[in-house]
Amino acid sequence: MAKSEPFTMQLTRETDLWVEEEARRTRRTKGAIVEALAEEAARMRRFPGVAFRGPEHDRRPWILGTALDVWQVIEAYGDMGLERLLGESDLPERSVRLALAYRDEYPEEVDEAIARNRRSQAEWHALYPGLISAPEKE
């Protein structure tokens, strides 16, 4: 992703201390912390009703008021279609449309999350042989 021109900013002392601690804790630069926060804030303003959760290495968008990540709504929409999804779940249509709008803007991110979820047992075993047993031979 292309970067903008550098600029200078001053944070309040309290925020600067928090960013310093977060940088130390996550072993990232202060700039990387501020950039990640700015990116999430920009996305949440562009898509009201979307927030972010998860550990630093796996922040993911979710739909407020639900327990679902955006990718989960999109996967269900793809599997069921809008009418069936609305009829068989308690998701409001607004939440589904919000997830669709987010996916339209960030398709690679959402598609990657869906693909990770659809890994076979053999793929999981190859990644984590000490945690996931090998699939049984037929």
Element (H, E) at 76: helix 70-80
pLDDT higher for 55 or 52?
Answer: 52
**Domain range annotation of the chain:** 13-46, 48-138
- The separation between CA 6 and the C-alpha centre of its own chain, rounded to angstroms, equals 26
Residue 88 to residue 104: CA distance in whole angstroms: 24
From CA 58, how far away is CA 71, in angstroms rounded? 13
Torsion angle of the four alpha carbons 31, 32, 33, 35, in this order, in degrees rounded to the nearest 10: 80
pLDDT in tens, 58-112: 899 999 999 999 999 999 999 999 999 999 999 999 999 999 999 999 999 999 9
